[in-house]
Amino acid sequence: MSLITQVLTALGWIVVLLAISPMVWLIVQPYFKGWSRAERRAADLLRDTLTPEQFRQLVWRGYLEVPSPTEPQRVYRVPRTKGYIQVIENGRAVMRLCVQPVESLPDADVVVLHKLMIEANEENYLQKANKYVCID
Amino acid sequence: MIRVMSRRGDDRITWDEQKVLAGDPEATAAVREAERIFAQERAKGATAFRVEPGKPSQRIDQFDQTAEQIVMVPRVVGG
């Protein structure tokens, strides 16, 4: 294939991409806008629910530690994004939990959900969770 | 205020307790709407928490218009 043909093919593709990009943007734009609005609202709720120390921990370490209300040596480590909740007892990871809402939620809302469930509904939370025991 | 978690972030309804006590129709309507949403979400399996700054959150089964903030979370399942 000659150089001229290659250049013309490339130019043709560029023209096609430029032509369809506004249409693609019109289609996906509402999803981007909707999601970012949802994330912003969820972030507001997260800030309202956490203490400044907890918020800093979540931002810098990537997880939030929620002490068990019933077992003083137990802490739940909730990740900032989707993932397992680690159960730490006496400084050692003993279990991983998988619990998720039936409805898709922004990540920040999921953190709040775990915190509230652990603090005020721990028994029910543990009943619902799928448990994976950590073996050294 | 009641905040209901959803894929849109959280939907919220606010009211002024003092205005409700004074019989303000707008505030009373907001409380009624919040109460209706509370019942509707509970029926779907949501759990409600009373959340106040500096205090441990508390699970509630009845709507409480005096709560500073009620947060409703959807039903959870093991993943």
What does the DSSP assignment read for B5-63? EETTEEEEE---HHHHHTT-HHHHHHHHHHHHHHHHHHHTT-EEEE--TTS--EEESS-
Q: Do A39 and B9 touch (CB under 8 A)?
A: yes
Write down the pLDDT at residue A20.
Answer: 86
User: What is the distance in angstroms between the Cα of B5 and the nearest Cα belonging to chain A?
Assistant: 7
% pLDDT > 90, chain B: 71
pLDDT at A10 over 70: yes
Write down the pLDDT at residue A78.
Answer: 96
This prediction has a pTM of 0.81
- Distance CA(A130)–CA(A110), nearest Å, equals 16
**Arithmetic mean of pLDDT, A93-100:** 93
User: What is the distance in angstroms between the Cα of A76 and the nearest Cα belonging to chain B?
Assistant: 16
Write down the pLDDT at residue A36.
Answer: 79
Write down the pLDDT at residue A31.
Answer: 64
- Closest A-chain CA to B3: A45
Instruction: Write the pLDDT tens digit of every residue in A15-43.
Output: 999 988 877 776 776 666 656 788 888 98
Q: Do A49 and B51 touch (CB under 8 A)?
A: yes
**Arithmetic mean of pLDDT, B49-78:** 91
**Arithmetic mean of pLDDT, A82-90:** 93
- pLDDT category of residue B28 using cuts at 50, 70 and 90: very high
Write down the pLDDT at residue A32.
Answer: 64
For residue B64, list chain A residues with Cβ-Cβ distance below 8 A. none
Instruction: Write the pLDDT tens digit of every residue in A49-72.
Output: 998 999 999 989 999 999 999 999
User: What is the distance in angstroms between the Cα of B7 and the nearest Cα belonging to chain A?
Assistant: 5
